[in-house]
Amino acid sequence: MPLKIRMKKVKSIPVVEVEGRATDLDVKRFSKKLQDLYKKGDPRIVVDLSKTKFVDSHGLGIIVYYNTLLQKQGRQLVVLNGNPDDHNYVRRLFELTNLDKVMRTIGSISEL
């Protein structure tokens, strides 16, 4: 399944919805979307991984990179994983890498 990336706003907060498998060349499109939002200066950006089946090291690196950039400016990257399955790949990935401890992760858009 090719990676689908959609943009929307929730409560005036930009949300990048990522659906499918975030690998190799597709990650460049994802990075470009985050770069565009970063340049706009929004105080908070949400990356919705609820429908993401797989994220490779490049995709994870992009999320960590923009999280770091935003934190340095007092801004925030929020990761949304609304999949309630405790064995969900993305949820497990964030737990195993301890990213759920160093960046804000939410289970529902209503938590914003």
CATH of the domain at 23: 3.30.750.24
34-83 residue pLDDT tens = 999 999 999 999 999 999 999 999 999 999 999 999 999 999 999 999 87
* One-letter-per-residue 3-state SS of 39-64: HHCCCEEEEEEEEEEEECHHHHHHHH
Indicate yes or no: pTM above 0.75. yes
Q: Which domain holds residue 53?
A: 4-111
Q: How many domains does the chain have?
A: 1
Q: How far apart are CA 48 and CA 78, in angstroms?
A: 8
Contacts of 6 (CB under 8 A, 6+ apart): 16, 17, 19
41: left (phi over 0), alpha (psi -120 to 50) or beta: left
Q: What is the DSSP letter of 107?
A: S
Instruction: Check if the beta carbon of residue 50 is closer than 8 Å to that of residue 80.
Output: yes
